[in-house]
């Protein structure tokens, strides 16, 4: 499972993570062939039905080697789609604080990450692909449900938590698309604080029903 350092490194180039210090071109090749096999397997079978073991088989390497490079299926998936932002880690971090601050913490982390120069480009590219190709949409959907929504639901423990989490996702996805993709003004130029103050409480309300300010 990921560490806090992983979360901080979420926007660092993904291909450097997990590479052994004494990497040689053979190790690079092995790693690349695992990622390539993963991309093929995910695309064909979707996120849920793809296993680390199946990817190892497709890449013709030992499963232990896959686990040497990637700590989880989510890790490998993120690399396969070259995602710079890790919603699963974002959620983990937000859930680490007080329950009534989940929305604000999540939005602050998101905005601080994506406001950095160039950071939002790949996220927008990923959303662009997901809106254009069904297999990409399916992968992203399954990843979000499995690694984000179910995790939140489990943590919050309420009956309709998954439904709540999926509605919270609409506000988060919409913020990303409108601020960083279409860049609607004055939202796109609004300060991080302004965004956190106006979006954070909504995410919190969606998740837990806390009253808005």
Instruction: Give the residues lining the site for a second copy (CB under 8 A).
Output: 124-125, 127-128, 130-132, 137, 140-141, 144-145, 149, 162-163, 166-167, 169-175, 177-179, 181-188, 190, 194, 198-199, 202, 205-206, 211-212
- Running DSSP on this structure, what letter comes out for residue 177? I
- Would you say 25 or 134 has its CB closer to a second copy? 134
Least distance in Å: CB of 54 to a second copy?
24
Q: At what angle are helices 119-132 and 102-114 packed, to 10 degrees?
A: 100
Other beta carbons within 10 angstroms of residue 160's beta carbon come to 11
Judge whether 142 and 50 are in contact, CB under 8 Å.
no
Phi-psi region of 37 (alpha: psi -120 to 50; beta: other; left: phi over 0): alpha
Please report how many Cα atoms fall inside a 13 Å half-sphere around the Cα of residue 158, on the Cβ side: 14
- Would you say 60 or 212 has its CB closer to a second copy? 212
- Would you say 112 or 194 has its CB closer to a second copy? 194
- Would you say 117 or 186 has its CB closer to a second copy? 186
Least distance in Å: CB of 43 to a second copy?
16
Least distance in Å: CB of 36 to a second copy?
24
Least distance in Å: CB of 211 to a second copy?
6
What's the distance, CA 90 to chain centroid?
A: 7
DSSP string, 94-155: HHTS-GGGHHHHHHHHHHHHHTSTTHHHHHHHHHHHHHH-HHHHHHHHHHIIIIIIHHHHHH
Least distance in Å: CB of 201 to a second copy?
8
């Amino acid at each position: 499972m990921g560490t806090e350092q992983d979360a901080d490194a979420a926007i660092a180039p993904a291909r450097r993570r997990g590479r052994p210090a004494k990497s040689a071109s053979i190790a690079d090749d092995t790693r690349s062939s695992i990622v390539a096999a993963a991309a093929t397997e995910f695309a064909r079978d979707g996120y849920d039905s793809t296993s680390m073991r199946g990817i190892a088989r497709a890449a013709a390497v030992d499963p232990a080697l896959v686990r040497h490079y990637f700590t989880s299926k989510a890790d490998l998936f993120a690399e396969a789609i070259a995602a710079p932002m890790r919603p699963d880690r974002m959620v983990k971090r937000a859930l680490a604080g007080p329950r009534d601050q989940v929305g604000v913490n999540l939005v602050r982390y998101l905005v601080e990450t994506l406001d950095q120069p160039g950071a939002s480009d790949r996220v927008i590219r990923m959303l662009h692909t997901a809106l254009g190709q069904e297999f990409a949409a399916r992968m992203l959907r399954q990843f979000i449900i499995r690694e984000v929504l179910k995790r939140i639901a489990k943590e919050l423990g309420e009956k309709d938590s998954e439904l709540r989490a999926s509605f919270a996702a609409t506000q988060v996805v919409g913020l990303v698309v409108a601020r960083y993709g279409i860049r609607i003004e004055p939202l796109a130029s609004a300060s991080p604080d302004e965004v956190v103050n106006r979006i954070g409480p909504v995410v919190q309300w969606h998740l837990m029903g806390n009253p808005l300010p």
